[in-house]
Structure 1
Amino acid sequence: MNTRSKDVDILNVTFRGKEIKAILVYKNRKNISIKIDSFGKVIVISPPKISKKIIKDIIIEKGDWILKKLEKYKDREEVYRQRMFITGEKFLYLGKEYHLVIKKLLEDSVKKSNCRINIDESEIIIQTNDVSTEFIKKSLKSWYKMESERIVLERIDFLKLNCEIMNQLIPASVKVKEQKKRWGSCTSQKNIYINSKISMARLDVIEYVIIHEFSHLAHMNHSKKFYDLVKSIMPDYKDKENWLKINGYKITI
């Protein structure tokens, strides 16, 4: 599943010899606003009828301010991608950021590596007898996959219970697996695959990914009929696409 939408675009503007990459979000409003999120993403929110040339000119007018802000955040996204799997790092769960906390268990007679993972209001807590980076990474990936499997099955049941159209869309199978570049996919054999990290996304975004892939059971393309079907099930689906477009880089292990 791609996250492309006519309501979200990417603008590249050169200012003082530096490239400014901005996420352009169209919304029904009167004015244009520019903000820098906490990870250095430049986000421009604009009325839908404003031309890209005008928006680029405004970005250039604000260029000095943008570059000054970006200087503060220039390393954050890279740090987010290049995990160290240590206490203090931030990980998403259902769209909320949690701090990772690793607690070393006392060594016992059992030499096999093991761990328990729990989540509270602000922390993902790993209690383990093996604090090696590789084991923590493997354990987290496994935990997220299990959470994704549980949540995806729950949301499918919920959607089918509350939407008759979903009951008419019957896949051959639904599986959660690791996918590097897709949030979900649907094969010509009607097998649906959902990204094993999807439990990092907001619950409504997870529902959108499910609806998107189920809609491919009727339309194996991204035609108007396909998006009309998606919209009939989830009228505000574009907001979910926008969330993935803006926050997708955070969904990583």
Structure 2
Amino acid sequence: MTETGSIQFGTTTIRYTISFSPRRQKVAIAVYPDTTVTVTVPTGTSPEKVRDLVHRKAPWILEQIGAFDHLAMMDASKEYVGGETFLYLGRQYRLKIVTGEEKPSVKLVGGYFVVTVPAGVRPEEQRDLVRCTLCAWYKEHALQRVREVVRTYARRLHLDPPEVRIKHQLKRWGSCTKDGVLNVNVLILMAPMSQVEYVVAHELCHLRHKDHSVEFWDLLRLVMPDYEIRKERLRKEGWRYVL
């Protein structure tokens, strides 16, 4: 079960989600790369007690949010020029731009993303062309990979594989619509497969349990016993996944 809350600290509003856990004995505050704040507390903890704790920890929370904002700004400035690095399934590949074919294309060759652009493309147009070509490649391959993982975990959950849509989302790694469609962030293709599997398994479990209830987490643990490790790694490393 979850609730939401907020406090005012100076001129800043800090919004947070309260997650109640019967297994939790102490209160834990987590700030994620998307700057969301989650407070995990033992079942029965009053919202007032959580509010007081968040207020006491507000300087630390704002410091973490500021650090993630700074990292995001640093890494978000992709120029799409030769020599830049891009992640794919946890590995770094350098971007190499060549001219030749009439249609732009992307190939993985050794440790390089080789993007071919048509000869005669003006320098001011090349950046956008490389960006669009690379983004299309990521979406295509994300759909293939995610569908494979969906089939695997849908079998474990005794579900029919749902429709998958790949999107470029700012705040979520995945979501599940009321119609049972799985939306997955294209940026997850930059993560190791263990994190891709976590996002897919998490969303598939929502087809059984819509909220983050005890039953939801128990089901996720059943099909993925080490989900907490994968979740934590995604939380720590997710800020690096920028396209």
Q: TM-score, normalised by structure 2?
A: 0.66
Q: Report the equivalent of 2:39.
A: none
Q: Report the equivalent of 1:228.
A: 218
Aligned equivalents of 2:153, 2:201: Cα separation in 1: 8
Match of 1:122 among 103, 111, 114: 111
Share of identical aligned residues, percent?
A: 29
Q: CA deviation at 1:77?
A: 5.4
1:12-31 equivalences under 5 Å are none
Secondary structure of 2:140's aligned partner = helix
Deviations 1:208-242 (A, max 9, x none): 11100000001101111111111100011111111
Aligned equivalents of 2:186, 2:31: Cα separation in 1: 27
1:129-208 equivalences under 5 Å are 129=118, 130=121, 132-160=126-154, 164-166=155-157, 168-170=158-160, 172-208=162-198
Q: Report the equivalent of 1:9.
A: 30
Deviations 1:22-78 (A, max 9, x none): xxxxxxxxxxxxxxxxxxxxxxxxxxxxxxxxxxxxx9xxxxxxxxxx9xxxx8753
Matched AA of 1:178: H
Secondary structure of 1:101's aligned partner = strand
Aligned equivalents of 1:208, 1:97: Cα separation in 2: 21
Aligned equivalents of 1:216, 1:127: Cα separation in 2: 41
| Structure 1 unaligned residues grouped into runs of 5+ | 12-20, 22-58, 60-69
Deviations 1:150-202 (A, max 9, x none): 11112223335xxx532x23355222222221111011221111112221111
What RMSD in Å do the two structures reach over aligned CA positions? Answer: 3.6
Task: Specify which structure has the bigger relative contact order, considering alpha-carbon pairs within 8 angstroms and separated by 6 or more residues.
Answer: 1
1:62-101 equivalences under 5 Å are 78-101=73-96
Aligned equivalents of 1:172, 1:117: Cα separation in 2: 29
Match of 1:103 among 89, 98, 102: 98
